Structure 1
Amino acid sequence: MTKEIKTALLMAASLFMEILDGTIVTTALPKMAQYFHTGSATIALLISVYLITVAVFIPLSGWMANRFGKKKIWIIAVIIFTLSSLGSAVAPSFTFLLIMRIIQGISGALLTPTARLIVLEKTPPSQLLKMFSYLIWPALVAPAIAPLIGGFIVTYWSWQWIFLINVPIGLIIVLIGIKLIDADKINKTTTFDFLGFLEITFSSSIILVGAELATHGKNYWLSAIGLIVLGVILGFIVFKHLKKVDNPLFSLDALKITSFRICQTSGSVLWLCVGALPYILTIFLQTVFHWSAVKAGSYVLFIFIGNIGIKPFTNAIIRKLGYRGALLSSFVMIFITSIALAFIQINTFPIVIMFLALVSGVGRSLALTAYSGLSFSEVDTKDRNSANTLNAVVSTLAQGMGISLMTVVVGLLQIFFPITIAYEQGFVVLGLLMIFPAIEVLFLPKNIGHATIGVSYVKH
């Protein structure tokens, strides 16, 4: 195993720890609400505060990596994440726990883009697909296994272990990282775009606060829509600022490249679905079928099995079909399985539900690997820091919006239909979302991103 692959696997391990922590807490919220004697709306702040903090501080990551060095920022981020996890586990009050979650969000925001940049910055185009196949699995695996692991922990142990499991993982990752990762160049002359940071902070925060507010019921929907619209308007102001300022927080030049731009538009829809499907399936099985958290999680686990099962073959499939063919194939799988999940009943053979979850996982894994490899295929090495930061901002917002969108969709449908039908149609909506990326990808050149998949594709 080469040093580059070892580094990629180490970065993937740190990403897995951060993404798992961001999703697993959902399962423990009822137990935590009992422990701290708070209501469900208050305890849900642990999720929304974390997501908003991550979105706010991600734009800082690229500048800090340049100013202080990627290795140093990554190590500090992992240490802070580990310590704040320990602080969360021993929290004496809800306020203290909320502060720890904010600190976790800050460290997670610095950790995620920096980990990717450490791997990407020196990777030649021909190796991008291979390296991304190592980096992408945490984003696929963590949301899928979180319901099962979380359900197991809160059923047989205590909610504190959701945070305590990060401590040994974090310490091991730091110790290996200190020895394995090479020191990098530091650019002390890098200026900080403070106005750009403030603008993107307000824009991201307002969008995610609006999305979170939308999940609290129809009485809040008008306010939520107003906040999201305001956030989008601010987003356009941010866009104009980053285009005209001499030293932007991160450059938007990569958006001129079709292969990168497509991954921010149609790729965002896919990220939204990646975050939403395990969530809506888990809630559906618990709310409509009245299954336990552990039983529901064990079925959702098959999404993870599909993710991992196809992983050894994704690169070969992309080389054979090209990026366009691989993406269209994955959209078809996600579309069909999402629609099919709308028809499952309490008496449906378990193997059918497992199979649908598995095929959905295969489609998600193939699509995210293809998007990841394609996104940086034509981005110059010197521009990858900015492109990576922009990509992280967009995907974080998309994932944050996923659960909120499906909560609102199901809530809206419940006004007109019984809860069972509302959830079933929620799956249909998730499937229909695949139409937009399919149309966008359909018009891409057949040979797009060919530099990352070698000569064998050109021959086809």
Structure 2
Amino acid sequence: MSRTLLIPLIVACALFMENMDATVIATSLPALAHDLGQNPLTLKLALTSYVIGLGVFIPICGWVADRFGTRTTFRAAIAIFMIGSILCAVSSSLFVFVAARFLQGVGGAMMVPVGRIIIFRAVPRSDLVKAISYLALPSQLGPVIGPPLGGFITTYFHWRWIFVINVPISILGMYLATRFVEDIRADELKPLDRTGFVLSAVGSTLFMLGLSMMDGELISSKYALMMFLVGVLGLYGYLRHANREPFPLLDLRLLKIPTFRASVLGGSLFRIGLGAVPFLLPLSLQVGLGMSAFHAGAITCASAVGAIFMKTIGTGILRRYGFRSVLIWNALLAGLALSSYGLFTPSTSTTVMVAVVLLGGFFPSMQFTCLNSMAYADLEDTDVSRATSLASVVQQISLGLGVTIGGLTVHFSSQLQGHSTIVAADFWPAFIVIGLFSVASIPFTRKLAPDAGAIMTGHKHKPA
């Protein structure tokens, strides 16, 4: 088996586990909220805390991989994620559950970015788009299996069992990494930016926590606003620090590269929109339309089926039209597809819902393939670790912001409409908002050259 196929499949074990975990928990949130005595919207903290773990530790993943080796770091990350999963399974309070999800985030912070570094260093640049497609295809099985499996376990057994699934997958991933992945270290280790780590960790943590608790369910909105503002100051302090630091934790100077800038900044807006879907869609189907967790999960998994179908034709589309055209038109179609989720009512047939959700998986998957591939198009080999750290931080925080913004929109929509409990009519404004975020990425991608990233896609631009 060629390394272009073998290495992505090994890393896909980690992505499969992470993607399945995210989708499994999404269909279980109403049951989780009931057992923990919380409002279902409050359980957005279970998703946000994971993102906080990612945001805090992703910035040092490149340094850790260079210092201790890619294989060692990758295996340790899988082990930490597995321990967090076990703690989630035995938790009995919101605090313990959120802390366990944070620990999972610490593992995920090292697991996925380091996996991408492994692929980049093992696969020739000309085969990188193909390798990423191989990587994405098995990882899409997580979203396919996760929603119906999580719904089935929650409906007929207990939500705690959904976290036990990660244990055998983790063991398999560690075994394969030990056998086939090289333990590569950097020839010259750059110093760790400890000041930058503290500023970014404090800033991102308080920023995300303050924003997610702005609804006043757990703490006063005033204190949540104070946390949010302190977080903003911390992030601003990091920006000033990074401009003076010769080896900053997150090197913002990489944003001067057009393809990388479009991938990171334009992609962040798109991911805010899509990040809300795994949280909002199952919640709207269960709480809004009264479906069982299993029924909601079966509909939600159609999104992953659409994503898998896209992988079979995505390379050909990119070769014909190029990154710029695909990113612009696909963002518009994805925004329309996501917004249409808000049109679901109790009288909407399951067939129609599945068809719409299928499209809502196809177009975003195409966008992700473009954004993730294009990020590496013009990078030097020496910049890969730093670029991966920066891109991964922005990506994950964007997904977490999507969950937070989606939850807050539903909360305020319910209040404005005078509803004492969440009903179906409270969700459509949230789906409109996330659709608009996806469309808002277009101005960034429009600035790309028509032949941007052509070395990776083989696209030959024909001047008008």
TM-score, with structure 2 as normaliser: 0.90
Q: 1:96 to 1:270 in 2, by over 3 A?
A: closer
The corresponding residue for 1:156 is 156
Greater mean deviation of Cα atoms: 421-430 or 171-180: 421-430
> Could you tell me how far apart the structure 2 residues matched to 1:168 and 1:422 are?
39
> Could you tell me how far apart the structure 2 residues matched to 1:194 and 1:338 are?
40
1:138-149 matched pairs, under 5 angstroms? 142=142, 146-149=146-149
Are 1:126 and 1:451, in contact at CA under 8 Å, matched by a contact in 2? yes
Greater mean deviation of Cα atoms: 83-92 or 71-80: 83-92
Q: 1:416 to 1:43 in 2, by over 3 A?
A: closer
The corresponding residue for 1:437 is 441
* Residue identity opposite 2:450 in structure 1: K
1:159-238 matched pairs, under 5 angstroms? 159-187=159-187, 189-214=189-214, 216-217=216-217, 220-221=220-221, 223-238=223-238
Matched, 1:457 2:451: no
> Could you tell me how far apart the structure 1 residues matched to 2:227 and 2:137 are?
33
CA RMSD of aligned residues (A): 2.7
Q: Show CA shifts across 1:49-94 (max 9, x none).
A: 3332222111121110111111111011112322443344355887
> Could you tell me how far apart the structure 2 residues matched to 1:225 and 1:137 are?
41
Structure 1 residue runs without a partner (length 5+): none
1:347 Cα shift?
Answer: 1.8
Are 1:71 and 1:184, in contact at CA under 8 Å, matched by a contact in 2? yes
The corresponding residue for 2:357 is 357
The corresponding residue for 1:413 is 413
* Residue identity opposite 1:106 in structure 2: V
1:95 Cα shift?
Answer: 6.7
The corresponding residue for 2:295 is 295
What SS does the corresponding residue of 2:400 show, helix, strand or coil?
helix
What SS does the corresponding residue of 1:214 show, helix, strand or coil?
coil
1:359 Cα shift?
Answer: 1.0
> Could you tell me how far apart the structure 2 residues matched to 1:342 and 1:91 are?
33
> Could you tell me how far apart the structure 2 residues matched to 1:98 and 1:276 are?
18
* Residue identity opposite 1:79 in structure 2: A
* Residue identity opposite 2:430 in structure 1: G
Q: 1:141 to 1:73 in 2, by over 3 A?
A: same
What SS does the corresponding residue of 2:440 show, helix, strand or coil?
helix
* Residue identity opposite 2:345 in structure 1: Q
What SS does the corresponding residue of 1:457 show, helix, strand or coil?
coil
Q: Show CA shifts across 1:294-343 (max 9, x none).
A: 11111111111111111111111111111111112322321222343333
Q: 1:144 to 1:397 in 2, by over 3 A?
A: farther
1:144 Cα shift?
Answer: 6.4
The corresponding residue for 1:428 is 432
Q: 1:420 to 1:175 in 2, by over 3 A?
A: closer
Are 1:206 and 1:230, in contact at CA under 8 Å, matched by a contact in 2? yes
* Residue identity opposite 1:199 in structure 2: L
Q: 1:250 to 1:332 in 2, by over 3 A?
A: closer
Q: 1:23 to 1:445 in 2, by over 3 A?
A: same
Are 1:196 and 1:248, in contact at CA under 8 Å, matched by a contact in 2? yes
Are 1:252 and 1:386, in contact at CA under 8 Å, matched by a contact in 2? no
1:183 Cα shift?
Answer: 2.5
Matched, 1:309 2:326: no
Are 2:339 and 2:435, in contact at CA under 8 Å, matched by a contact in 1? yes
The corresponding residue for 1:279 is 279
> Could you tell me how far apart the structure 2 residues matched to 1:32 and 1:410 are?
19
1:225 Cα shift?
Answer: 4.5
Are 2:47 and 2:400, in contact at CA under 8 Å, matched by a contact in 1? no
Greater mean deviation of Cα atoms: 281-290 or 122-131: 122-131
> Could you tell me how far apart the structure 1 residues matched to 2:45 and 2:333 are?
34
Q: 1:25 to 1:83 in 2, by over 3 A?
A: same
Are 1:136 and 1:368, in contact at CA under 8 Å, matched by a contact in 2? no
1:458 Cα shift?
Answer: 4.2
Q: 1:270 to 1:138 in 2, by over 3 A?
A: farther
Are 1:10 and 1:177, in contact at CA under 8 Å, matched by a contact in 2? yes
The corresponding residue for 1:25 is 25
Greater mean deviation of Cα atoms: 208-217 or 352-361: 208-217
Matched, 1:51 2:20: no
Are 2:44 and 2:407, in contact at CA under 8 Å, matched by a contact in 1? no
The corresponding residue for 1:131 is 131
* Residue identity opposite 1:457 in structure 2: K
The corresponding residue for 2:240 is 240
Q: 1:96 to 1:398 in 2, by over 3 A?
A: closer
1:329-368 matched pairs, under 5 angstroms? 329-368=329-368
> Could you tell me how far apart the structure 2 residues matched to 1:452 and 1:444 are?
15
> Could you tell me how far apart the structure 2 residues matched to 1:405 and 1:141 are?
27
Q: 1:453 to 1:227 in 2, by over 3 A?
A: same
Are 2:7 and 2:122, in contact at CA under 8 Å, matched by a contact in 1? no
1:39 Cα shift?
Answer: 4.1
Are 2:48 and 2:403, in contact at CA under 8 Å, matched by a contact in 1? no
1:351 Cα shift?
Answer: 2.0
